Chain A
Amino acid sequence: MIPGRASVLVVEDDADLAALVEMIVSDAGYAVRGASDGAEALARVEDEMPALVLLDMRMPVMNGWEFAREFRARWGRAAPIVVVTAAEDARLRAQEIDADGWLEKPFEIEDMLATVHRFLDRPAPDQTAQP
Chain B
Amino acid sequence: MLLYVALSAAWLPFSERLLVAALGDAASRGEIQAVNGALYVLASAALLHHLIRRALAHRGPCDTQLRGVLDGMADAVLVVDGPGSVVDMNRAALRLFGAERREELFSLAAELLERAQLQNPDDRPAGADDLASLRALADETGTRYEARLRRRDGRERYVSVSSAPVPRRGAGSQELSVVVVRDISDVKRFEESREEFFSTAAHEFKTPLAVVKAYAQIMRRRGQGDPAGLDAIVRQVDRLARMVQQLLEVARFRLGRTELRRERFDLSALLGESLDGMRPRVDGRRLLSSPAGPAPVIADRDRVGQVIANLLENAVRVSPDGGDVEAALSRRDGEAVVAVRDHGLGIPRERQGRVFERYYRAHAGTPEDYSGLGVGLDVAREIVARHGGRIWFESEPGAGSTFSFSLPLAAEERPP
* A and B interact: yes
Q: What is A's interface to B at a CB cutoff of 8 Å?
A: 14, 16-17, 20-21, 23-24, 58, 86-88, 91, 105-109, 112
Q: Mark contacts of B291-307 with chain A using CB atoms, 8 A cut-off: 1 yes-contact digit, 0 otherwise.
A: 00000000000100000
Complex-state Cα separation, A26 to B316, whole angstroms: 40
Q: Which residues of A contact B252 (CB under 8 A)?
A: 88
| Interface residues, chain B, with chain A CB atoms under 8 Å away | 198-200, 202-203, 205-207, 209-215, 217-218, 221, 237-238, 241, 245, 248-249, 252, 302
Provide the residues of chain A in CB contact with B218, threshold 8 Å.
20, 23-24, 109
What residues of chain A lie closer than 8 Å to B203, measured between beta carbons?
58, 86-87
- Which A residues lie within 8 Å of B206 (CB)? 86, 105-106
Residue of B203, B206, B210, B238 with most chain A CB atoms under a 10 A cut-off: B210
Contacts of A24 in B (CB 8 A): 214, 218
Distance to closest chain A CB from B403 (angstroms): 24
Which residues in A have their C-beta under 8 angstroms from that of B221? 109
Chain A residues near B241: list those with CB within 8 A.
106
CB nearest to A107 among chain B residues:
B210
Please tell me which one of the listed residues B199, B212, B214, B238 contacts residue A88 in the complex, with CB atoms under 8 A apart: B199
In contact, A106 and B209 (Cβ under 8 angstroms): yes
State in angstroms the CA–CA spacing of A91 and B237 once bound together.
Answer: 21
Are B249 and A106 in touch, CB under 8 angstroms? no
Name which residue of chain B comes closest to A56, CB basis. B207
A-B residue pairs in contact (CB < 8 Å), sample of 8: A17-B214, A20-B214, A23-B218, A24-B214, A88-B198, A88-B199, A106-B214, A109-B217
Q: Report whether over half of chain B's contact residues are helix, strand or loop; otherwise say mixed.
A: helix
User: Once the chains bind, are A14 and B207 in contact (CB under 8 Å)?
Assistant: yes
Closest 3 CB pairs of A and B: A86-B206, A106-B210, A105-B210
Q: How far is the CA of A91 from the CA of B259 in the complex (A)?
A: 13
Q: How far, in whole Å, are A88 and B203 apart by their CA atoms in the complex?
A: 8
Contact check, B207 vs A109: say whether CB atoms are below 8 A apart.
Answer: no
* Shortest Cβ distance from B237 into A: residue: A106
Q: Please, which residues of chain A bring their CB within 8 A of the CB of B302?
A: 91
A contact residues around B211 at 8 Å (CB): 14, 16-17, 20
Given A14-B207, A109-B214: 9 more A-B contacts, CB < 8 Å:
A17-B207, A17-B210, A20-B215, A86-B202, A87-B202, A87-B203, A88-B202, A88-B252, A106-B238
B217, A108: Cβ atoms closer than 8 Å: yes
Residue of A16, A17, A105 with highest tally of chain B CB at under 10 A? A105
Collect the chain A residues with CB atoms within 8 Å of residue B199's CB. Answer: 87-88
CB proximity of B242 to chain A, nearest CB, Å: 10
- Bound form: Cα–Cα A20–B198 in Å: 26
Distance of A16 Cα from B211 Cα, bound (Å): 7
